[in-house]
């Protein structure tokens, strides 16, 4: 049992009536931990944890992702947003947490904006085509459907920033306080603010100034770019190569989308960058599956076919899990559907045109119709820009791509 006054510290419980508060307080448990004690997320899969006193480093197998103290705004949220393997909290001060069973939380309708929806694995069967690689595709599909592969979880800091950016009342001061929780992300934001992409004037010497310089929407793009690099650390040589290729191609597509959107008044360049960055996100879980199962990893010649068959549907699922909006989810699913039928131009059209341009800037050639025959190209009304023949424009875009990749890809 815990004192009700501790529950009332958290927004999750402030709107409950007295009877609910009494019941939850009777069922809740308070536990104290010494410095350096670890709390393993996977072992807490049936519980929701709240930090009352002290401080954590929330870490994954890849390193520290976020510091969290009981006095911080972050402590209003549960300690863990997922129970992914390798995720844990290490106490950096003597710490007290409140532990409440998930079924009790759900009983009173307490839902967090980071809760996962049920994912539609069953629909994976509809994307499997009959070809020579069908057995391999079937094997990987079954791994996902049997939950043998866990979709990667965004680090805590990325989830928190993404959630807060959906708040219309968020200001630069508060966002700066959140960003400062992660020194790597903070450093990248300052670097990007001072880059040629945003004028290169080197006037942004603080997080708040940098955020003011580049805008709130750009922060989401930089955060996603940084965390994607460390989302999955493969062991197989083939998968390491494919992961690097995926990351650089994602940033390249994002930057091209950004440049295209600047030419079209109806589109926000920062949002266009995010669409390009995340269009191929379904590649990561497939590479996780291949890396973890030696019997799949050696079938290198078939990997491209597997990716082309499965990545779009799995990409939609992972963005659904990460709580991105439906337009981004559908973009991951439809990015390679060249004949998609829509009433007016949208961000997915920008992604498709960017994909057709990307091989001119160092990316792989993308199958599909010629640019001039692409319905997306026509819907966007880009014929007059003639970007393929405009070498000056392509060189400028190439420079921006190279600069951004270097900044965000730093270790």
Residue 180 within any structural domain of the chain: no
CATH number of the domain bearing residue 12: 2.60.120.10
Same domain, residue pair 146 and 70? no
- State which of 107, 133, 163 marks the end of a domain: 107
Structure confidence at residue 411 (pLDDT): 45
Residue 260 within any structural domain of the chain: yes
- Structural contact between residues 153 and 83, judged by C-beta atoms closer than 8 angstroms: no
- Kindly tell me the burial class for residue 292, based on how many C-beta atoms sit within 10 Å of its own C-beta (0-12, 13-18, 19 or more): middle
Structure confidence at residue 93 (pLDDT): 93
Q: Residue 201 has what DSSP assignment?
A: -
- CA separation, residue 186 to residues 100, 170, 178 (Å): 33, 17, 9
Same domain, residue pair 322 and 392? yes
Same domain, residue pair 145 and 67? no
Same domain, residue pair 277 and 392? yes
- Structural contact between residues 255 and 401, judged by C-beta atoms closer than 8 angstroms: yes
Q: What is the pLDDT along the chain (411 residues), one digit of tens a residue?
A: 888 988 988 888 888 889 999 999 999 999 999 999 999 988 998 999 999 999 988 776 544 456 788 988 778 878 886 666 677 888 999 999 999 998 888 787 775 544 444 455 555 555 544 444 566 666 677 766 666 566 666 666 777 777 777 777 888 888 887 887 776 777 778 877 777 666 666 566 678 888 888 787 778 878 887 777 777 777 778 888 888 888 888 888 888 888 888 888 889 888 898 899 899 998 988 888 777 766 665 555 567 777 888 889 888 888 887 778 899 999 999 999 999 989 899 999 999 999 988 777 767 778 888 877 889 988 988 776 655 555 566 666 666 666 666 666 554
- CA separation, residue 192 to residues 4, 99, 198, 223, 278 (Å): 45, 40, 7, 11, 19
Structure confidence at residue 331 (pLDDT): 95
* H-assigned helices in 155-292: 156-165, 172-179, 183-193, 207-214, 216-229, 237-261, 269-278, 283-292
Same domain, residue pair 400 and 282? yes
Same domain, residue pair 138 and 260? yes
Structure confidence at residue 132 (pLDDT): 45
Coil/strand/helix, residue 286: helix
User: What is the CB-side half-sphere exposure of residue 266 using CA atoms within 13 A?
Assistant: 9
* Bridge partners (DSSP) listed for residue 89: 39, 58
CATH number of the domain bearing residue 264: 1.10.3210
Structure confidence at residue 367 (pLDDT): 82
Structure confidence at residue 116 (pLDDT): 43
Same domain, residue pair 144 and 285? yes
- Structural contact between residues 51 and 95, judged by C-beta atoms closer than 8 angstroms: yes
Distance CA 90, CA 33 (A): 10
- Structural contact between residues 217 and 269, judged by C-beta atoms closer than 8 angstroms: no
How many helices and strands (H and E) does the chain possess? 18, 7
Would you tell me how many other CB atoms lie within 10 Å of the CB of residue 303? 19
Structure confidence at residue 218 (pLDDT): 77
- Structural contact between residues 96 and 203, judged by C-beta atoms closer than 8 angstroms: no
Same domain, residue pair 313 and 268? yes
Same domain, residue pair 31 and 144? no
Structure confidence at residue 52 (pLDDT): 93
Range of the domain at 53: 4-107
Distance CA 139, CA 141 (A): 5
Distance CA 322, CA 163 (A): 10
Residue 196 within any structural domain of the chain: no
- Structural contact between residues 89 and 156, judged by C-beta atoms closer than 8 angstroms: no
Handedness of CA 242, 141, 250, 351 (dihedral sign): positive
Structure confidence at residue 55 (pLDDT): 92
Query: What residues contact residue 369 under an 8 Å CB cut-off, 6+ apart?
Result: 338
- Mutual angle of helices 183-193 and 391-408, in 10-degree steps: 150
Distance CA 38, CA 9 (A): 24
Domain count, the chain: 2
- State which of 107, 139, 171 marks the end of a domain: 107
- Mutual angle of helices 216-229 and 207-214, in 10-degree steps: 110
Same domain, residue pair 365 and 237? yes
The radius of gyration computed from the CA coordinates of the chain, to the nearest angstrom, equals 23
Same domain, residue pair 135 and 243? yes
Structure confidence at residue 63 (pLDDT): 45
Structure confidence at residue 399 (pLDDT): 67
| Torsion angle of the four alpha carbons 322, 325, 330, 331, in this order, in degrees rounded to the nearest 10 | -90
Distance CA 298, CA 304 (A): 13
Same domain, residue pair 83 and 142? no
Distance CA 37, CA 34 (A): 6
């Amino acid at each position: 049992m815990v004192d009700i006054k501790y529950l009332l510290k958290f927004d999750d419980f402030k709107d409950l009536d007295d009877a609910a508060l009494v019941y939850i307080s009777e069922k809740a448990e308070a536990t104290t931990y010494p410095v350096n004690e670890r709390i393993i997320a996977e072992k807490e899969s049936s519980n929701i944890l709240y930090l009352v006193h002290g401080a954590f480093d929330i870490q994954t197998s890849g390193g520290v992702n976020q510091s969290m103290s009981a006095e911080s705004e972050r402590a209003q949220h549960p300690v863990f947003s997922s129970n992914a393997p390798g995720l844990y909290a290490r106490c950096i001060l003597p710490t007290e947490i409140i532990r409440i069973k998930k079924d009790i939380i759900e009983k009173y309708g307490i839902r967090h904006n980071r809760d996962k929806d049920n994912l539609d694995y069953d629909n994976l069967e509809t994307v499997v085509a009959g070809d020579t690689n069908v057995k391999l595709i079937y094997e990987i599909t079954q791994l996902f459907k049997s939950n043998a592969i866990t979709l990667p979880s965004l680090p805590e800091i990325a989830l928190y920033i993404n959630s807060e950016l959906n708040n219309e009342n968020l200001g630069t001061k508060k966002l700066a306080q959140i960003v400062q929780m992660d020194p790597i992300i903070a450093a990248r934001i300052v670097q990007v603010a001072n880059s040629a992409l945003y004028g290169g004037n080197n006037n942004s010497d603080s997080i708040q100034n940098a955020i003011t310089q580049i805008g709130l929407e750009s922060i989401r793009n930089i955060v996603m770019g940084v965390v994607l690099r460390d989302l999955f650390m493969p062991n197989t040589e083939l998968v390491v190569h494919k992961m690097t290729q995926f990351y650089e191609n994602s940033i390249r597509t994002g930057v091209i989308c950004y440049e295209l959107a600047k030419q079209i008044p109806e589109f926000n360049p920062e949002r266009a960058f995010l669409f390009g960055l995340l269009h191929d996100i379904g590649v990561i879980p497939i590479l996780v599956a291949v890396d973890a199962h030696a019997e799949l990893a050696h079938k290198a010649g078939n990997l491209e076919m597997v990716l082309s068959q499965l990545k779009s549907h799995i990409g939609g699922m992972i963005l659904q899990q990460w709580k991105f909006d439906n337009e981004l989810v559908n973009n991951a699913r439809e990015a390679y559907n060249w004949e998609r039928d829509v009433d007016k131009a949208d961000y997915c059209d920008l992604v498709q045109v960017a994909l057709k341009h990307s091989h001119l800037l160092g990316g792989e050639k993308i199958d599909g119709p010629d640019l001039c025959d692409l319905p997306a190209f026509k819907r966007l009304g880009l014929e007059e820009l003639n970007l393929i023949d405009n070498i000056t424009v392509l060189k400028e875009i190439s420079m921006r791509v190279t600069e951004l990749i270097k900044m965000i890809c730093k270790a």
